[in-house]
Chain A
Amino acid sequence: MTGQGMTGQGHAGQGVIGRAVHRVDGPLKVTGRATYAYEHGAEDRPLYGYIVGATIGRGRLTRIDTANAERAPGVRLVMTHHNAPEQGPRDTSVPIEYWRAQPMLTGPEIHHYGEPVALVVAAAFEQARAAAGLVEVAYEERPGRYDFAALRDDTYVPKVVNAGLPTDTAVGDFDAGFRSAAVTVDRLYTTPYEFSMPMEPHACTAVPQGADLTVHVSAQIVDAALASVAATLRLDPARIHVVAPYVGGGFGSKLGIHAETILAALAARMVRRPVKVALTRQQIFQLVGLRPTSSQRVRLGADRDGRLVALAHDVTMHTNPDMEYAEQTAATTRSLYAAPHRLTSHRLTPLDLPRGEDVRSPGDAPGLLAVESAMDELADALDMDPVELRIRNEPTVDPERGVPYSDRHLVECLREGARRFGWERRPTRPASVRDGQWLVGYGTAAAIRGHFQMPTTVRVRLAADGTATVQSDMTDIGTGTYTILTQVAADGLGLPTDRVRVELGRSEFPTSMGSGGSWGAANSSTAVHRACHALRKRLLAAVREDTRSALCGLPWEKAVFADGRVRIGEASEALSDLVARHFPDGVQTTGETLAMTDDPHYSAYSIHTYGAHFAEVGVDADTAEIRLRRMLGVFSVGRVLNAKTARSQLIGGMIWGVGAALQEEGVVDVRTGAFATRDLAHYLVPVHADIPAVDAVVLDGYDDKANALGAKGIGELGICGAGAAVANAVFNATGVRVRDFPLTLEKVLPGLPPPEE
């Protein structure tokens, strides 16, 4: 359902879609005028909540004494399990975790370190924080299971993994295939706990107004926040108003709301005043889900020409015992390379740690670290160029589902990347190139990421002055939603971008699936595209019989909407005149995107995005310090909606991959179940000095099976494989293969070549 027949709208070409338009929310963001969740309601003088967390990993509260805290200056409320309101239970029949109730302070049991035991509410932040230190808690501690390395063989089989994907798959006879292979790789890789760590802490300002409650949240999915608050507080969803116009990053960690929102909302209703709560940076490490730690066995068997005959990816990861989360770590391995005999599996090790949650590119990020490292090991074993090895294993159909690919350009990404990067200069022998102090190496890896489509509705309204307003509860978490929807609506209605206004992030607006899973842009822009199509139809129907219009009686199928005018052949009329005459109060329609389960293309085709990463590293010959020197990603994502924001997101993803390869690692104190790395000085993420020139190139594309715009998601693709390219470059530089991520220098140092004379 595109605009064909009526206009050129929506097709690739000269239009405003795809253009590198500056972010429309840019001027507000760079001047500090964009307001985030904690920055609302100042006029109502909100109270401040501060969370007190458990200091044991498992056990129960035997006593909690709030008397001193309650007497402290400014304190209005100390909420514990003794006085917290009754809340709705976490209901596992609700299919997606983020829509479920998230009850807090429900009893004396402690399930993981840092779990909230009290909320202190006071007139000022300083008072709440100080009084939080006066809450006295006694515990009975029970031994917990915290040590993944020690317990990882103690597993169970989940029914399904994340996104409803199958736990295990098998094609052919893996064992026989692997035995028959001329060259094999059989390796174990481990990946650490990782945290999303958006720069804006998880926060909520809850404002009660009679029976209504407004929650300003930092959330990726407004509808999930609404459902979750309503179910937890047992309120009529119609009485709850969720507001999230700006979100300071989410990366999965704001798909659902957490303690900050529930506790702020409960407290606000108890004290009948606005209450705001933000997690401290340290609390984010305990109260927001994390990427599970994993151990992954990858087995590859190939013939002498490098053609894979057998491929297996077996994953074990931790899960919280009560709140299962099985990251789909082996899922895209099922679609990546051809091989007749294949296996994938996922197993879970229950540990008394915070639950796993989606962290940017769930599954693919850790999975490709392992599989794409193993491919590099296979290339080394075969003495073959790693780019060539991947090209040789390009499938013609999805090797497990047996359906065709919609729009697969992995080989082009590899070739184009190799050409642009100067891959032919790669040292063919590891540890053979030096630049002064530095051992220099090149690495590559493939990127693949499933494309999802989720139900989304938007409203587009044309006012009599010829301006358009787009409304959706969709969010812009840095992804560029405001900007791309402006472009799609401008294209769809033939208006200049400054006559389109996009309003997002309010539960009063039509429902979307928000930002997550890289589906936000395609879902919401397809819906806007359709709404504009419907609007054009209504306008043309009105004008057909309108003798006052210059367009009356002309063949309306030939109408073109452009530059604020509707044109048929030589005749034209201003869009605003047309709207003013026929719809003096304006005219609006909605547009919808279907769930992928209702869209036959998604079962008939294997729909993914692709890419190839190329990294050059230097490793200090004496200290093993690893420095990324440059990096390039070439991607195929269907059609790009905004060349500027798309590139930024892909580069951002690649840099996340660099962090995963070299820095990021959550370390558990296995005696207490607390994360020892619980601030940004210990949980290291890339900073300016870590990141040299990084470039992303997007191939021209259009995936007609994905949606009417031909666009697919890009928010997560950049990470996929990026870390493996860096790790493979470290091997190429040093000859040292580290299989335990991240590649910190003490793991590389012992294997460095001896000093030169």
Chain B
Amino acid sequence: MSDSVMRTAGRSPDERAGRLSEIELSVNGRVRRLAVDPRTTLLDALRERLGLTGTKKGCDHGQCGACTVLVDGRRINSCLTLAVMHEGDEVVTIEGLGAPDDLHPMQRAFVERDGFQCGYCTPGQICSAVGMLSEVAAGWPSHATAAADAVAQRIALTDEEIRERLSGNICRCAAYPHIVAAVRSVAEGDAG
């Protein structure tokens, strides 16, 4: 913080200190240009700068999964990554997956199976589940995958697999059995 007292009249303190970084990234299919404090996490950029508050902050330390978003199709904890590291990336948040009158199949399955209660972990669970299903489709093994399946890169989506792969998403309301049911119903294509 040695430069913290650098001041020039007429500009915001951050601009005065020359501390903002310009970034450009795509969020939910729209190109967004931002000048951010380099310390800003992707999570806070989404919530506080872009008004996309559907992505939740539960711990800010990579321990709860509430902040899960899809970056270039892969799920990540957006609290554990800085916005400036995502120049040119394609970010999809819960708002980008679907809208109340146009639900994504995973969102619809969560409503139908009651895969949530308070709803705070839910955007993260849903983004995580969507990302997870593509990991399974790509044949990525998990701790719960049988060795032979891992070698063959053919994953049987057992309930164990779903649970293991979603364990980074804590639900304190403990909607777990219904989340697993929702994910399974999407994987089996009977969400409707």
Nearest-Cβ distance from residue A193 to partner chain B, whole angstroms: 17
Q: Indicate which residue in B64, B95, B162 contacts A680 across the interface (CB closer than 8 Å).
A: B64
Q: How far is the CB of B127 from chain A (nearest CB, A)?
A: 9
**Interface 0/1 of A257-295, CB less than 8 Å to B:** 000000000000000000000101100000000000000
Name B residues whose Cβ lies closer than 8 Å to a Cβ of A.
1, 4-5, 12-14, 16-17, 19, 37, 39-40, 44, 47-48, 51-61, 63-64, 66, 93-95, 97-101, 103, 107-108, 110-112, 114, 116-123, 126, 144, 159, 162-164, 166-180
Q: Which residues of A contact B180 (CB under 8 A)?
A: 688
B174 contact set on A, CB distance < 8 A: 651-656, 686, 691
Find chain A residues with CB under 8 A from B37 CB. 124, 126-127
New A-B contacts (10) at CB < 8 Å, excluding given A278-B57, A694-B177: A31-B97, A127-B37, A249-B173, A478-B173, A648-B175, A651-B177, A652-B173, A685-B172, A688-B162, A688-B179
* A94 at interface by CB-CB < 8 Å: no
Complex CA distance for A126 and B126, rounded to whole angstroms: 28
CA distance A644 to B93 in the complex (A): 28
Compute how far the CA of A655 lies from the CA of B178 in the bound complex, rounded to whole angstroms. 12
**Interface residue from A251, A647, A654, A687 paired with B167 (Cβ < 8 Å):** A687
For B171, the chain A residues whose CB sits under 8 A away are 199
Q: Is the interface of B mostly helix, strand, loop or mixed?
A: loop
A681 CB–B CB distance under 8 Å:
yes
**Which of B52, B144, B167, B177 lies at the interface centre, i.e. has the most chain A CB atoms within 10 A of its CB?**
B177
B residues in contact with A134, CB < 8 Å: 1
Instruction: Say which one of A19-27, A384-392, A609-617 lies at the interface with B.
Output: A19-27
Q: Which of A22, A27, A280, A645 has the most CB of B within 10 A?
A: A27
- Evaluate contact between A130 and B173: CB separation under 8 angstroms: no
Docked-complex contact A281 and B58, CB < 8 angstroms: yes
Interchain CB contact (< 8 A) of B114 among A124, A644, A685: A644
B172 touches A197 (CB 8 A): yes
Cα A201 to Cα B126 in complex, Å, equals 20
A479 / chain B contacts, CB cutoff of 8 Å: 117
Chain B residues with Cβ under 8 A from A28's Cβ?
100, 119
Which B residues lie within 8 Å of A33 (CB)? 54, 95, 99-100
Contact A126–B39 (Cβ < 8 Å)? yes
Residues of B within 8 A of A36 (CB): 53, 56, 120
Interface band, chain A: 35 or more
Q: Decide: B95 and A198 in contact? CB cutoff 8 A.
A: no
Residues B94 and A31 in contact, CB atoms below 8 Å apart:
yes
Contact A679 B63 (CB under 8 A): yes
B4 touches A201 (CB 8 A): no
CB distance from A681 to the nearest CB of B (A): 5
Chain A 666-683: CB-based contact to B (< 8 A → 1; otherwise 0): 000000000000011100
Neighbour of A247 across the interface among B54, B101, B118, B167, CB < 8 A: B118
The answer to whether A249 touches B59, judged by C-beta atoms less than 8 angstroms apart, is no
- Selected from B14, B48, B52, B54, the residue in CB contact (under 8 A) with A125 is B48
Instruction: State in angstroms the CA–CA spacing of A281 and B64 once bound together.
Output: 10
Pairs A–B under 8 Å by Cβ, sample size 13: A30-B98, A30-B123, A31-B99, A32-B93, A32-B123, A42-B48, A125-B40, A200-B56, A248-B120, A649-B117, A680-B59, A685-B170, A688-B164
Q: Which residue of A lies closest to B162 (CB)?
A: A688
Shortest Cβ distance from residue A252 to the other chain B in the assembled complex, whole angstroms? 12
- Residues of chain B within 8 A (CB-CB) of A652 are 117, 173-175
Interface string of A609-648 (1 = CB under 8 A from B): 0000000000000000000000000000000000011011
User: Given known contacts A199-B172, A679-B61, A691-B163, is B118 in contact with A249 (CB within 8 Å)?
Assistant: yes
Kindly name the residue among B4, B12, B108 whose own CB sees the greatest number of chain A CB atoms within 10 A: B4
CA distance A332 to B159 in the complex (A): 37
Whether the Cβ atoms of B100 and A71 lie closer than 8 Å is no
Residue numbers in A under 8 Å from B58 (CB-CB): 199-201, 281
| Docked complex Cα distance between A645 and B118 (Å) | 11
A421 at the A/B interface (Cβ < 8 Å)?
no
Interface core residue of A126, A479, A654 (most chain B CB under 10 Å):
A126
